[in-house]
Each structure stands twice: as C-alpha cells, then as structure tokens.
Amino acid sequence: MRKENDQPLKKILQEWIESRRLENRLNLSRIREVWAQEMGTSINTHTREMKIIRKKLFISIESAPLRQELAMNREKIKDRMNEALGTDYLVEVVVRG
C-alpha cells in the first residue's frame, strides 16, 4: 500500500546530494575512475591533480609533451567524461602544468 508522500529513492538521493552540495565531489570521483580506466596508467601517473570548479574540469599534468597532446584533445576528453557521467555536466576541460 502506497502513501501519498512516497517518492522514488533516486529522487530523494538526488535532492539530498543537491542540498548538501556534493554534486562536484561525486562527479569528480566518477571522473577520476574513468580517467584511470580510459587514459591508462602512463597518463594517470603523470596526472598531479584534478578538480572541478564551476563545471570546468582542471587537470594538472607533469609532462609538457603529454600536456600539449591532452590540450589539443580537450573536447574529446570532455565528451568522454560527460558520457561516463551520463549527463552534459562539464562545460570545459582545462589542461595545465
């Protein structure tokens, strides 16, 4: 028997995540997992830091040639990460040293 105030668990969790402002942390965690799987161990070992600020993914890379290569493929990286998140969350990817 259902009550009037019954809501799907997914909706309740989404509201809780938004109220606690945990969306960036949750998405960053997912992105780090996908980054390690998609980019491989060599790129992952040269990655120093990843953070999300205002829906922009900032990636710090140690190797200059690798940084240049990733900077040229920012759109592909953004598309892969958004696909992994299941939504168009990221608006830009910034690769820096």
Mean pLDDT, rounded, for 35-54: 92
- Domain spans, the chain: 9-96
Half-sphere exposure of 9 (CA within 13 A, CB side): 0
pLDDT confidence bin for 2, thresholds 50/70/90: low
CATH topology of domain 9-96: GMP Synthetase; Chain A, domain 3 (3.30.300)
Q: How far is CA 33 from the centre of its chain?
A: 9
Predicted TM-score (pTM) of the model is 0.80
pLDDT above 90 for 10: no
Asked if the model's pLDDT at residue 63 lies above 80, the reply is yes
* Angstrom distance (rounded) from CA 28 to CA 25: 5
pLDDT of residue 1 exceeding 80:
no
